[in-house]
Structure 1
Amino acid sequence: MRRAVALAARGLGSTSPNPVVGCVILDAAGQIAGEGWHRRAGGPHAEIEALRDAGDRARGGTAVVTLEPCNHTGRTGPCAQALIDAGTARVVYAVADPHAVASGGAATLAAAGIDVEGGLLAGEAEAGNIAWLTSVRRGRPFVLWKYAATLDGRIAAADGTSRWISSPESRADVHRLRAQADAVVVGSGTARTDDPQLGARARESGLLDSEITQPLRVVVDSNAAVVKPGARVLDGTAPTLIAVAEDADATPLEGLAPVVRLPRAPLGRQGLSIPALLDALHEREVRSVLLEGGPTLAGAFFAVGAVDRVVGYIAPALLGAGPAALADAGISTIARALRLDVTETARLGPDLRITAVPTAPSSEES
């Protein structure tokens, strides 16, 4: 199963709106006969790739797959039926399929007389497929907030300069995050100050051009006043979407990029409604979002509980002044501090990369 999880990871960034899935076929003697993973949406699923690799050796063997085999016909046929037709004797999967349309494969396999077992290394398989699983379970994209800051939490100096706080190694890692995301989101402040390009660049990421599916570049420009002709985010290397308020005059944006109109945030907060933004992206089959916006936009996401993972690149430098990484997130007292569970730390050049996930509030805090 760990091999299947590793195979599934090869599809990160190229399978959306489908999940990443890996499969290993063992022959009747328990030896590996075939392997496969879902490479791209619309292409063969992992089980089909592995069955093709295994050939006749799949008969009487075992399929080990990271996600319950699908049970419906979409752009491809149902994997459960393909496993039945191949004469597979046993199927072991890690995570049950939560999708209302595709689920039921385990029951179909069992009804055909196949021995079925679920839950093997479910935690590891779920971690590798968390973006898609979150989008299905919550009905919104998985959101990863990335930021780079000094050791004292500053994302820029007092004069506004910020290039470069993080190291080349950290910046290369960000390009890998972009390559895995369906959309990269920034706010008007970042668009105005940095004029970011927001694409995933192969040279920086260490990936091949053929391995990169460019993310949708999303600029939250509430008043349609920041994105101008010639902006790097309009350079054509990746699709772009501009989110504006329903009551904004979007005439200046005509002909520049597609525009989506959204309600403004509730009274007391700036910008657009974050839930409405995520709904609009989910309708466009965006399953994962890399939030690269500045402190104000990040605070708005946290205020509505819409951040699922944090990746911070901490540089061994001090500024003592300048904007902090996170602005108002609706937290007014230490008792309401958003606690994080650190899941990984790594050195990237001189920087420290910290990966963490928000923890559920304790009964005393709720």
Structure 2
Amino acid sequence: MDRALELAAGGPAHGPNPRVGAVLLAPDGRTLGEGRHEGAGTPHAEAAAVATARAAGEDLRGATAVVTLEPCAHTGRTSPCAALLIEHGIARVVHAVDDPNPAAAGGGAALRAAGVDVVGGVREDAGEALLRVWLHAVRTGRPFVTLKLATTLDGRVAAADGSSRWITSDEARAHAHALRGEVDAIAVGTGTVLADDPALTARTADGDLAAHQPLRVVVGSTPVPDGARLRGPGGPLVVEPTRDLAAVLARLAEREVRHLLVEGGPTLAAAFLRVGLVDEVHAYLAPVLLGAGPAAVADLGIASIDDAFRLRPRSLRVLGPDVLLVADVRHPLDDRPAPHDQAAPQHQPVPQHQPVPHHQRTPHEES
């Protein structure tokens, strides 16, 4: 299972499908074949492993399939993996995580009905951690939302004159571009578009456009200027002229967006936080002091420290002179454990949505 998880982690993080790895073992423990899912429209991990084994002339009758996610029982872009394993005489299937997708679930039951020995929950915590974004999107029906902040030590995203390039270092910006390459969509407010004219592209270390470009989402009623960089090379542009963030996420889910990165500005960040629609924060912190200038997050309506948003740090990383803190968000009205602390999170209803103020023209550091 460790090897299957390693294979899965090498697959693309973006896209509507989960990252899955599979290893086929002979009765004596010898590896017959391996595979992983390379994205929508490509063979699933089980099919890739079977193809590898067959190409090597291996007999799969009586073999064990070790898979990070329960084999699917759904015919979509590809055929059901459960049926494929049955067809090739697999005797035992071991998986880490049950498939929560109602359109694809039932593979374990189909395998058992065919006489296959099925064991679930092996390295389940590791499987849940690997698939946390995809699992959240499937279980809740909305994209997993990461809020990105890039600030000075005193929480500023720009100086008093509006200048913001560059607060963070080359290393931090390179990491942020790598993150963009892993998400399905990036969102900013219209104020950031007007003040900063961002391109919202994912770029390689050489400055070239990455192979995968996320959807570029602008939230707000102010039109995107005809000459804006958002209309240039990069991912498709989607304009959401609304203050209803739940509706925005619902429409993105219809586009098969599983992971949304919210990049700016302070008003949009506060709006997502106020309605409980942020799942994690990536905070790039530079050892810089300004003493004045716009804060990273606008007014949240919090009057007491008791009502503060409490984050649960998950990792801390040094990037050149800067520090990246990755933390799970706990909403003041939400007492559920953080997703990585449990095998099958029980998601509570999102608090009542509040109107989102007009977006400020606050510069955003990352373009």
TM-score by length of 1: 0.86
Contact 1:175–1:204 under 8 Å retained in 2: no
| 1:13-162 to 2 correspondences below 5 Å | 13-14=13-14, 16-55=15-54, 56-162=58-164
Separation of aligned partners in 2, 1:2 and 1:162: 43
Match of 2:299, SS state, is coil
1:204-251 deviations in whole A, cap 9, x for unaligned? 58x994xx3211001113232xx1111111103321111114xxxxxx
Query: Does structure 2 retain, via aligned residues, the 8 Å contact 1:171–1:204?
Result: no
Give secondary structure in 1 for the equivalent of 2:253: helix
Pick one of 234, 239, 242 that aligns with 2:236.
Answer: 239
In structure 2, which of residues 282, 289, 297 is the aligned counterpart of residue 326 of structure 1?
A: 297
1:172 partner SS = helix
SS in 2 for 1:58: coil
Number of the residue aligned with 1:256: none
Cα 1:57–1:162 shift into 2, 3 Å: farther
Q: Structure 1 vs Structure 2: percent identity of aligned residues?
A: 53
Query: How far did 1:24 drift?
Result: 1.5
Taking structure 1 as reference, are residues 46 and 286 closer, same or farther at Cα in structure 2, changes over 3 Å only?
Answer: same
Corresponding residue number in structure 2 for 1:263? none
Deviations 1:241-275 (A, max 9, x none): 11114xxxxxxxxxxxxxxxxxxxxxxxxxx1111
For structure 1, the residue ranges without an aligned partner over 5 or more in a row are: 246-271
Q: Partner letter of residue 47 of structure 1?
A: E
- The residue correspondences of 1:283-322 to structure 2 (distance < 5 A) are 283-322=254-293
Greater than 4 Å deviation, 4+ residue runs: 360-363
How far did 1:168 drift? 0.8
Q: Give per-residue Cα distances to partners, 1:69-93, cap 9 Å, x unaligned.
A: 1001111110011111121121111
Report if the CA contact (8 A) 2:203-2:209 is conserved.
Answer: no
Aligned counterparts of 2:20 and 2:185: Cα–Cα separation in 1: 21
- Does structure 2 conserve the Cα–Cα contact (< 8 Å) formed by 1:42 and 1:76? yes
Tell me the CA shift for residue 112 of structure 1. 1.3
Contact 1:303 1:329 in 2 (8 A): yes
- Offset at residue 115 of structure 1 (A): 1.2
Which residue does the alignment assign to 2:363? none
Preserved contact between residue 181 and residue 213 of structure 2 (Cα < 8 Å): yes
Is the CA contact 1:64–1:91 (under 8 Å) kept in the aligned structure 2?
yes
**3-state SS of 2:111 partner:** helix
CA gap of 1:237–1:29, structure 2 versus 1, over 3 A, is same
1:148 is matched by which residue type in structure 2?
Answer: A
Deviations 1:189-212 (A, max 9, x none): 21112111111112358x994xx3
Secondary structure at the counterpart of residue 292 of structure 1: strand
Is 1:282 the equivalent of 2:279? no
Decide whether the 8 Å contact of 1:29 with 1:61 is kept in 2.
Answer: no
Structure 2 gaps, min length 5? 337-350, 352-367
**Residue of structure 2 equivalent to 1:215:** 214
Please give the alpha-carbon distance, in whole angstroms, between the structure 2 residues aligned to 1:356 and 1:229: 37
Residue 57 of structure 1 deviates from its aligned partner by 4.3
Relative to 1, partners in 2 of residues 1:208 and 1:26: Cα closer, same or farther, differing over 3 Å? Answer: farther
Match of 2:226 in 1: 229
Letter in 2 for 1:138: T
- Partner Cα separation in structure 2 for residue 353 and residue 140 of structure 1: 26
Partner of residue 354, structure 2:
none
SS in 2 for 1:107: helix
What TM-score results when the alignment is normalised by the length of structure 2?
Answer: 0.86
Q: Indicate conservation of the 8 Å contact 2:200/2:234, yes or no.
A: no
RMSD: 1.9
1:13 Cα deviation from its structure 2 partner: 3.8
Partner of 2:190: 188
Per the alignment, residue 11 of structure 2 pairs with 11
Q: Deviations over 1:129-176 (max 9, x none)?
A: 222211111111110111111111111111111111111111111111
Counterpart Cα distance in 2 of 1:31 and 1:355: 39
Counterpart amino acid of residue 133 in structure 1: L
Look up the equivalent residue of 1:11 and give its one-letter code. Answer: G
Quick one: distance in 1 between partners of 2:251 and 2:105?
25
